[in-house]
Amino acid sequence: MNNSYDNKNIFSKILRSEIDCEKILENEHALAFLDINPQAPIHILIIPKNKYIDFYDFTQNGSAQEIKYFWELVNDVIKNKNISDSGFRLITNSGKDGNQDVPHFHVHLLGGKNLGRMIN
């Protein structure tokens, strides 16, 4: 885990139950909950339960079990929301240039309508 992790970020507070969230699913290593500012009919955030700043930190420092359980939860949410056939988008932002707002690794799962092209 990264030593420069900010324990005051909102996802850290959610994991400590200091802030409520509308939980969708969770497992031993990850949590999925509704985004408070949805950008699509389905907009769910999936986060690891340990302290990882971004995708690179997670993939470099997460255990094989943490990484496996994280992506299994992503798939479980896709199945739970019944969007595997209609389609969805997974987004993760990393660092300043990636416009990452919360310094805790997370993916946005968006679906429930045609999301249009991301880049023209």
| Catalytically annotated residues | 106
Task: Please give the C-alpha separations between residue 62 and each of 38, 71, 85, 92, in angstroms, as whole numbers.
Answer: 28, 12, 30, 16
Q: Which two tokens stand for residue 28?
A: 């031993």
Strand-by-strand arrangement of the 42-48 sheet: 23-26, 30-34, 42-48, 107-111, 88-91
Q: How far apart are the first and last CA of the chain?
A: 37
Rounded-to-integer distance, Cα 77 and Cα 92, Å = 16
